[in-house]
Structure 1
Amino acid sequence: MAVTLDDPRTKNVVRRRGGRNWEKWGWIYMRVSGLVLVVLIFGHLFVNLYAGGGVSALDFAFVAGKYASPFWQVYDFLLLWLALVHGANGIRTLINDYSISPVGRGLRRLLSPHFLMKSALLGSTVVLLILGTLVIFTFDPCPATSNADLLPSFCAAVQ
């Protein structure tokens, strides 16, 4: 009695329309974004902790000074997006590996823990990306309509 096994490379491959292998591209994204994140994080730590005068020098004025430059806005934007999408992709992989995939169709599928966890992950990731992006690009340390007594000391020179 001979037992034959299927080729392991043919199973569990997620393919959608067009024959794209989304798991492969997710795996590649994790490696590339991980390398870019290492560079961005060490640059962030160097500027904020070493060149910036240490933890005691980090305050509202330091952040306001950084966000006055478009370079730092784009730098922090890339750091935010790469880190959040990288982390969400990792959690998505854990959900796929350790939760039971939904069986059936319709309401039964929509109420499965697998679908609910992935939906919550997607929703929280989108909300955090939107809020973080808004903070980075709309940050104004000296709003014109604010009471002058409530503004930081460096804003008095502007008004």
Structure 2
Amino acid sequence: MTAIADPRSPRVTVRRKGPNLEKWGWIYMRVSGVLLVVLIFGHLFVNLMVGEGIHGIDFAFVAGKYATPFWQWWDVLMLWLALIHGANGMRTIVNDYVTHDRTRRVLVWALWLAAAFLIVLGTLVVFTFDPCLGFDASTASDTMISICS
């Protein structure tokens, strides 16, 4: 008597030679998750608790933060880790629930392309941010005048 496999039983796949990408993806999710908790809570603490709190967040606050390489790299690291973490999680969901091989491959490629595009775009925004573009000293705050003068 032969048994029929459960509908949601995993596909039998042949182990390929080379690095085990699933294992490294699993490790990345754990490590990036811990780092993201530290980065996000540090970001929230500085933005919401230090200084004037939420009332102090305006264009000048962001310009002041992005004037220092430390905060640029903090936010870029948070961006990179979060986007890769999210794309890897979505890849896992697609692999679990999409049964057609070609559809799964297209969706996974689309996920990684979207993540790469957002990483490039976000990195460009952080490192090329110019608060003095279109600066008008007559309407600017004291912080903006000190940054742009």
Does the 8 A contact of 1:37 with 1:79 survive in 2? yes
Letter of the structure 1 residue corresponding to residue 56 of structure 2: A
Pair 1:120-2:110 in alignment = yes
Structure 1 residue 54: deviation in Å? 2.0
**What is the aligned partner in structure 2 of residue 148 from structure 1?**
136
Change (3 A) 1:101 1:14: farther
| Structure-2 change in CA distance of 1:92 and 1:49 (3 Å) | same
User: What is aligned with 1:41?
Assistant: 40
Once residues 24 and 44 of structure 1 are traced to their aligned partners in structure 2, the CA distance between those partners, rounded to angstroms, is 30
Query: In the superposition, relative to structure 1, how do residues 53 and 13 fare at CA in structure 2: closer, same or farther (>3 Å)?
Result: farther
Q: Cα deviations across residues 74-110 of structure 1 (Å, max 9, x unaligned)?
A: 11110000011000000000000010142xxxxxxxx
Higher relative contact order, chain-length normalized (CA < 8 Å, sep 6+): 2
TM-score, length of structure 2 as denominator length: 0.81
TM-score, length of structure 1 as denominator length: 0.76
Structure 2 alignment gaps of length 5 or more: 4-11
Q: Which runs of 5 or more residues in structure 1 are unaligned?
A: 4-10, 103-111
Q: How does 1:55-134 map to 2 (within 5 A)?
A: 55-102=54-101, 112-134=102-124
Runs of 4+ in 1 over 2 A off after TM superposition: 11-15, 146-159
Matched residue, 1:23: 22
Residue identity opposite 2:109 in structure 1: S
In structure 2, relative to structure 1, the CA distance for the partners of 1:147 and 1:77 (3 Å cut) is closer
Across the aligned residues of Structure 1 and Structure 2, the Cα RMSD in angstroms comes to: 2.3
Q: What is the CA-CA distance between 1:129 and the residue it aligns to?
A: 0.4
Distance 1:141 1:13, change over 3 A: farther
Give the number of equivalent residue pairs. 138
More deviation, 53-62/125-134: 53-62
Q: 1:52 and 1:92, CA in 2 relative to 1: closer, same or farther beyond 3 A? A: farther
Shifted more, 49-58 versus 73-82: the winner is: 49-58
Q: 1:147 to 1:27 in 2, by over 3 A?
A: closer
Q: Which residue of 2 aligns with 1:8?
A: none
